[in-house]
Structures are given as C-alpha cells and as structure tokens.
Amino acid sequence: MAQRGIREYEGKKILFDGLAKTIPSFKGKSEKLALVKPGTDPKQLVKDHPWLLKEKLVAKPDQLFGKRGKHGLLCLNADWKTAWKWISDRMNKTVTVGKTTGELNTFMIEPFTPHKEDAEECYVAIRAYRDYDTVYLSNKGGIYVEENWEKVKETHVPILSSIDDVKLNMPDFGKRKAQIEEFVKALYKVYAEGGFTYLEINPFTFSGDDIVPLDLVAKVDDTAAFECAKVWGGLEFPAPFGSTHTKEEDFIRGLDEKTGASLKLTVLNPKGRIWNMVAGGGASVIYADTVCDLGYSKELANYGEYSGDPSAEDTYQYARTVLDLLTREKGVKGKVLIIGGGIANFTDVAKTFTGIIKALNEYKTRLTEQKVKIYVRRGGPNYKEGLSNMRKLGETLGVPIEVYGPETHMTSVVSMALGGKKK
C-alpha cells in the first residue's frame, strides 16, 4: 500500500458527493469548487462556475500542505475580483512553508462560510493503522488544534467492524452531539468506500443547522485505484509541495495505472551511484534502509519497487527506465545496480527476469563503458531458472554480475555491493 496525498479540491468533491448520499440534508456541493492553475482563463472559469460572481469566496493554495492560515495563505470573505487578484499576485511565486520552499501554482476557490472562529471550529480526522482505523474528534479545532490536543477524543474502529456498531468517544458538543455523530459516521463511510488512509477536516463549522467542512487534508491508498475508479474519477496525484515529478516517474506512474501489478519509482539523487531495482514493497524498504544504515544515504539514487506479478513487458519497461537513469550521468564512479527482492509468493521470478535481462542487454554498451557492477538476489516461484538466466547473462554482458538466492540475506547483498564481505 502506498499512501498518496490528493488535492483538497478533489478530496472535497469525493467527500461532498459521498456525504450527500448518506445525509440527504447535507448542503455541500461538489459543483461549487473551482481549481485554478497557471493558464486558467478567468472568463472561462466564471462561465463554468457562475456562482463565483454571486457569493463571497475563499481562495487558498491547494498543494498538499497545511497551516495555510498561519502562513497568511488564505483569502477570506472576498468577492470574485478580489479573490482573482489575490491568486494572480501569488501564482508562480516562491514561498516557504515550515522548512519547505516551493512554488505556488495551484489554488482552490470555494464559497465562504461566516462563523465564530473560537466557538464554532471543530476537528475530525480518520487515520488507518494495521488492525484498525482511529477516529479523532475535538470541539476545539482550527489553527490551534495541536496546542489543544489534550481535548481530542479517540475511537478505534476494528478493520472488520461496521462504524454503525461502534460507539464514538465524543467531546462535549452540547445540543449538536447527535448531529455530529451522524456526520462523523457518514464521513467514515466515505473514508472506507473511497480508499482513504487519512482524512482530516480542520475545521468543520456550522451554518445555521448545517455542518460545513472548511479545510481538508487527505491521502488515499493508490492500490485501490481499480476498486475505487468510479468514486475517484480522474484522480490526480500531485507531487508534494517543494518537489516535482520527473518524466521517468510520470512514465512509471502511467504504467502502474494501466496494470494490475504495482510499479513505483522515485528518483532521489540522479547523480547517485547506488541504484535499486527491487521486487516487493517490503523488500524495497529493507534494501533502501540498509543502504542508509551503512552510511551511503547520500549516494542512494532511487527508491521504488515492482510487485504483484507484472508481465515481462511491464518489467522490461520498468527496468529500462531505471537503467536509462543509471547510465545518464557518465562521470559518476563506482556505480552499482542491486536487482533484489524477498522470496516471492506468486510472482514468477523467471518471467520478470526475462524483462530485466532484455533491458540489460539493450543497455549493454553504456553499462560496460561506465563499469557498472550488478548484484542479484531473489527467491520465489521459478527463482532457480531466473537466477540461472542471470548467471548466463553475466557471461556475455561485459560487466560483473554476482547472483544469489534466498540462502543469502537481503542485507548481505547490499553490504557486498557496497564493498563489504558476505555474511
């Protein structure tokens, strides 16, 4: 499972549509949300969203960071002209939020909800853990929720339980208790059905008799893309604030979305000398952690994994993408490629190695010119055939390939690749 942040704009669209099905009286409308990016035509935006000219508005960056109020990045109670100027003045500008510096390039506009900040801001969040979800609830929300964390009440919801059968641990909401309980349980259903791993509304407030979610932060399990396709629509996974996706990362992400397998790639340091091509999400963490534990974190070039029995073609495309990155910086000395993994349950090792071997042969010249050393460790279905094919490749590829099976620990292979001895 990979937890991926999504924009508030898209999170609210999912939330509003889901809540409307469970709570018929819910007033939030996904149609009353507008997204502004570089190049957005204001005339067309108003044409698509005529409510922008009729209501007081909120404008804010929508780039996966919080505490926008504390950083002066909220435009409140504005008319359309004021909101558009506020966005235009900040579009493509560089700002620092906490310790992260990045460019503002995506904003959201929604209707403004008047409320009493101190008395009418509440907090709710739901987070996924291994065996349960936790619902966090407080009657003291807003920008100072962390300072009032002792007021937050927690409720554990076991994975196989129905939220309708769970008694919520609730703070004092006075006469609104029943209404908020209904809202939180409906929220949990949207969370569960929408593939969320984290969903925070801080704050939610009140407009007359209605509950209004104001600011939202959300993450989803990207492996739920197929199951949640109708709920998500064309859900976008933007890069975290302060970073951008490389074209190679976007390419692998596109492959991942088209296959039932899992293909992940993050470029950490394109000039690094240690490259991993690892099968399995858990194994990928072990390999990367071992590199860092041995003191080579600054030389680790990438993080990623392929798993779920990808086809030979998908594995080939994944491998050639990694190899192209690995061989691009010609001046880096001592490059190593670790083709690793744990002991697979159902992934056909020989089949996936067919794709990797094809890519290695394609990049033979660049690999030999740069004197790349290759280390292989794998186990699972047809692993002996796969390892045998790798050994045969080592006889013709022109670069050294050391091949190990499940009798050798994963961490040992990393140590050997980085100059240590076999344990």
Is residue 5 included in any domain, yes or no?
A: no
102 and 147, same structural domain? Answer: no
Domain boundary among 89, 111, 133: 111
Q: Is the pLDDT of residue 269 over 80?
A: yes
Token pair belonging to 269: 């340091």
Q: Are 409 and 423 in contact (CB under 8 A)?
A: yes
352 and 251, same structural domain? Answer: yes
Burial readout 37-72 (b: 16 or more C-beta within 10 A, e: otherwise): eeeeeeeebeeebebbeeeebbbbbbbbbbebeeee
Return d(Cα 69, Cα 76) in angstroms, integer: 10
205 and 328, same structural domain? Answer: no
pLDDT for position 422:
47
347 and 411, same structural domain? Answer: yes
Q: Is the pLDDT of residue 13 over 80?
A: yes
Q: What residue type is 340 in one-letter code?
A: G
273 and 397, same structural domain? Answer: yes
**Per-residue pLDDT tens digits for 42-92:** 999 999 999 999 999 999 999 999 888 888 999 999 999 999 999 999 999
**Per-residue pLDDT tens digits for 248-260:** 999 998 899 888 8
pLDDT for position 38:
95
**Per-residue pLDDT tens digits for 86-103:** 999 999 999 999 888 999
309 and 252, same structural domain? Answer: yes
**Per-residue pLDDT tens digits for 222-237:** 878 888 989 998 888 8
Return d(Cα 239, Cα 65) in angstroms, integer: 11
Is residue 242 included in any domain, yes or no?
A: no
Return d(Cα 160, Cα 129) in angstroms, integer: 13
Q: Are 204 and 214 in contact (CB under 8 A)?
A: yes
Mean pLDDT of 381-399: 95
Is residue 381 included in any domain, yes or no?
A: yes
Could you list the residue range(s) of the whole structural domain that residue 195 is in?
122-232
CATH number, domain at 396? Answer: 3.40.50.261
Q: Are 260 and 314 in contact (CB under 8 A)?
A: no
**Per-residue pLDDT tens digits for 25-39:** 898 888 999 999 999
Q: Structural domain tally of the chain? A: 3
Confidence of residue 119 (pLDDT cuts 50, 70, 90): low
398 and 290, same structural domain? Answer: yes
Is residue 11 included in any domain, yes or no?
A: no
CATH number, domain at 50? Answer: 3.30.470.110
Is residue 142 included in any domain, yes or no?
A: yes
390 and 251, same structural domain? Answer: yes
Is residue 207 included in any domain, yes or no?
A: yes
Angle (nearest 5°) at CA 98 between 97 and 100: 65
200 and 80, same structural domain? Answer: no
329 SS3 class? coil
**Per-residue pLDDT tens digits for 173-225:** 999 999 999 999 999 999 999 999 999 999 999 988 899 999 999 999 987 88
Domain boundary among 183, 207, 232: 232
CATH number, domain at 201? Answer: 3.30.470.20
**Per-residue pLDDT tens digits for 125-163:** 999 998 999 999 999 998 889 998 999 999 999 998 999
Return d(Cα 65, Cα 240) in angstroms, integer: 8
Confidence of residue 41 (pLDDT cuts 50, 70, 90): very high
Is residue 117 included in any domain, yes or no?
A: no
